[in-house]
Amino acid sequence: MSLEKTKQQLLKSFVSDGGINHLDGPNLPSQEAIDALARDMIHLMFPGFFRHNEFPRERLEDLLEQRLSQLHGKLTREIRKCLVAEADISARRDAETEAEGILAAFPPIRRLLQTDVEAAYLGDPAARSYEEIILAYPCIFAISLQRIAHVAYERDIPLLPRMLTEYAHRQTGIDIHPGARIGSHFFIDHGTGVVIGETTTIGSHVKLYQGVTLGAKSFKVDPEGKIVKGIKRHPDIEDRVTIYSGATILGGETRIGADSIVGANVWLMESIPAHSIAYYKGENLVVRSRKSREKAEG
């Protein structure tokens, strides 16, 4: 079968169907390279895990220097592609400096990740050890890459942050936008199907179950009908909140108060105060104070 007709039609499409071509543009970051970067970053977050070879303490400093240098070089190359692919003003930034800035955030990120592992261990009665959590719990992988990607997002590096979190999404089924701001001791039990939007803020000691969505209620549009970007669209979750499986919480003005519980499959588009519990009784949504129940039980 001749492919000549298909070739000619594709050539015509390349000319007429703009917006999805990158024929003469600068070299874009490679998804394969970004995925490899993500794995290298995880290895530095959790030294001695995820590799066939050991990470002996007596060689720790030399190995760390070597791997940091290698990672810095790879990260610089991909950031340079990201910057050049964007507007000229972005391309004037130094990719090497941006890479150094991301790597400089690794020590505080590791301190946060230690709290996340602790939260998983304390929050799951099935957890046997920290090692099991680091090696086998998908939330740790997804949260780790999101915390790294968030640094790149805050530095306004294009493409890279989303490519990192999408790698985690493909690997775990957990979709956390790099823009989301997440406090310490964060735990996602099971994890599959969790979606956390760009402008979400999450406090400390928050626990989510599978299938939770922290999303946008609606999208504002400009006079031309185009979605307005860069505005607050996703909810705020305060400290010590638990959200059970299948719950959906939407809207940039929606706030879940501290020490609250959102029950399974609850749909919320309005705020609830601190110390609340939200659940369905039949077909009706009930939001009441946890303190009244605790007082009655006491």
Q: Which residue has the higher pLDDT, 218 or 112?
A: 112
Q: Which residue has the higher pLDDT, 124 or 25?
A: 124
Q: Which residue has the higher pLDDT, 16 or 109?
A: 109
- Mean pLDDT computed over 154-167: 96
- Mean pLDDT computed over 68-88: 87
SS3 205: coil
Read off the pLDDT of residues 178-196 as tens digits, 9 standing for 90 and up: 999 999 999 999 999 999 9
Q: Give the distance, in angstroms, between the CA of residue 93 and the centroid of all CA atoms in the same chain.
A: 25
Q: Which residue has the tokens 């020590």?
A: 107
Residue 250's DSSP bridge partners are 215
Max distance between CA atoms of the chain, in angstroms, equals: 81
pTM exceeds cut of 0.85: yes
Read off the pLDDT of residues 163-173 as tens digits, 9 standing for 90 and up: 999 999 999 99
Give pLDDT, residue 11: 81
Whether the CB-CB separation of 148 and 41 falls below 8 Å is answered with yes
Domains by residue range for the chain, with CATH:
29-172 (1.10.3130.10), 193-298 (2.160.10.10)
> What does the alpha-carbon distance between residue 71 and residue 255 come to, in Å, rounded to a whole number?
39
Q: Which helix (H) or strand (E) holds 232?
A: none
Whether the CB-CB separation of 204 and 222 falls below 8 Å is answered with no
Give pLDDT, residue 223: 80
> What does the alpha-carbon distance between residue 213 and residue 134 come to, in Å, rounded to a whole number?
24
Going by DSSP bridges, is the β-strand pair 284-289/276-281 parallel, antiparallel, or unpaired?
antiparallel
Written as six digits, the tokens of 275 are 């110390």
> Distance from first CA to last CA of the chain, Å, rounded?
80
